[in-house]
Structure 1
Amino acid sequence: MALPTFEKKRLIGLIAILSFGLTSLSAVLLPSPVAPLGPAIFITGFFILIPLVVVLGEDFPLVAADDADAGSASPSAERPVAALRERYANGEIDEAEFERRLDRLLATEDLDERFERTSAGLSDRSGENRAREYELE
């Protein structure tokens, strides 16, 4: 049976929540002879397990391999026009399909550029408004 794997951030969060919760429960519910177990749980979780996960990263048995490298290596995620040209060059799509998809991609890129310009303009305007507010004060 294989061990479950988690993203690094999720595993750190899980360890932190479990350590804090178990420490709190042991402080309230355990009888006094076993009370030193609470600080031991806290120390184990926060000062041993979390640093191990941070330092070892993917080498820690419960941390899943990071798929960010696989996602960034795909040309379709980074450069959709280049990926489309590559598919056309390989003969996967015909000329009409290539032209149709290229037009759609270029239209989408134009919309992205317009959105970026308008949002940049809004942030500039808010900066101007702040300057005016300071002048009025």
Structure 2
Amino acid sequence: MSLPTFEKKRLIGLVAVLSFGLTSLFAVLLPGALGPLIPATFILGFFVIIPLVLLLGEDFPLVESGDAAGASAATTAAAGDPLETLRERYATGEIGEEEFERRLDRLLETEDLKGRIDADAADRRDSRDRRDSRDRRERETELE
């Protein structure tokens, strides 16, 4: 099981909230028994972990790499264009040449099919519009 990863800002916020929360909890609940943990928790969070995250950045184990963030941003940006998404995945080495060719062929087949379906739907709309127009003219001549 691997550790979860966070964006750098999110991890810093999480550490800050946990450090402050645990420090407050220890100070309120058991100040006598947990007395030594109060300053240790605060110092560990704010003066050790947060500076380490800031200094190490992507090398810190819980910070996700910029490649993953960039790939997810590219994926969401190109979500509307499957061909662009496929090209991006091939360019980053996520899929090989054979897989790229196979998916490209399938994508082009479905695009052709989609184009035919769209053309058929447009033809049906045009014929329906012509029929409606003809019916409207007939009603207008009947009313005169």
TM-score (norm 2): 0.48
TM-score (norm 1): 0.50
